[in-house]
Amino acid sequence: MSKTQLFDLEGKVALVSGASRGIGEAIAKLLAQQGAHVIVSSRKLEGCQAVADAIIAEGGKATAIACHIGEMEHITQAFSRIRQDFGRLDILVNNAATNPQFCNVLDTDPGAFQKTVDVNIRGYFFMSVEAGKLMREHQGGSIINVASINGVSPGEFQGVYSMTKAAVINMTKVFAKECAPFGIRCNALLPGLTDTRFASALVKNDAILNAALQHIPLKRVAAPEEMAGAVLYLASEASSYTTGVSLNVDGGYLS
């Protein structure tokens, strides 16, 4: 029996935002291992370049492009370069996100609210719009939005972040329905508690961590690499009839 080619991404161009560390870095590296030319993107070029260099050192193909998805002009500039340098985009992973405030919802700072909305909703939306336009030209592509279990069950003291992730889940369904005629699929990944710097306020606090583990059947925190396999499935031909789905990778938390 021959090996499956369902997960082969040879010849594909993939853009991963927030890819300088954590879940985004793990996704970028796995997509590259499967043959994709990965555009490693985040706010700071240095971090992106380090990940791109690591991919290249392992025999993969990667390019670093700085892009702050909370800034509209950054999105425009990034896609102008992608169109110029590659002429296509097959996979978009919207992973960059922000959660600047950990507090009771009544104490929400207006500036923190706006920043969270600008990145987590507006950023995802217009990254998807620009990617979708490129994908439409080639009649195919896959958009994967990294949402969160908080979009289904709000996290305590993470009100605005949870609201934006709920919006991402609905946004995924919107793009799935309206982009299907162009051969574009759109799905969401809902990570559970994962050991990243982004989640350090939860993972590094023993009291919060122990309380969270009581609700996770697998009784442990995920590693970033454990999110990447699900994204590979959603990015590849293995999921060719899958669109509009929210895939929980949460150790059983939402079950």
Residues marked as catalytic: 161
Residue 44 DSSP label: -
- Coil, helix or strand at residue 92: strand
Beta bridge partners of 186: 143
Rg (CA), the chain: 17
Rounded Cα gap, residues 185 and 182, in angstroms = 9
CB 247 within 8 A of CB 234: yes
Residues in the chain: 255
Instruction: Name the residue type at position 165.
Output: K
Residue 236 DSSP label: S
Please provide the DSSP assignment of 205-224 as one string: -HHHHHHHHTT-TT-SPBPT
Q: Name the helix (H) or strand (E) containing 184.
A: strand 184-191
Rounded Cα gap, residues 119 and 97, in angstroms = 6
Rounded Cα gap, residues 108 and 21, in angstroms = 27
For 186-211, b/e burial (b = at least 16 CB within 10 A) is bbbbbbbbbbbebbeebbeeeeeeee
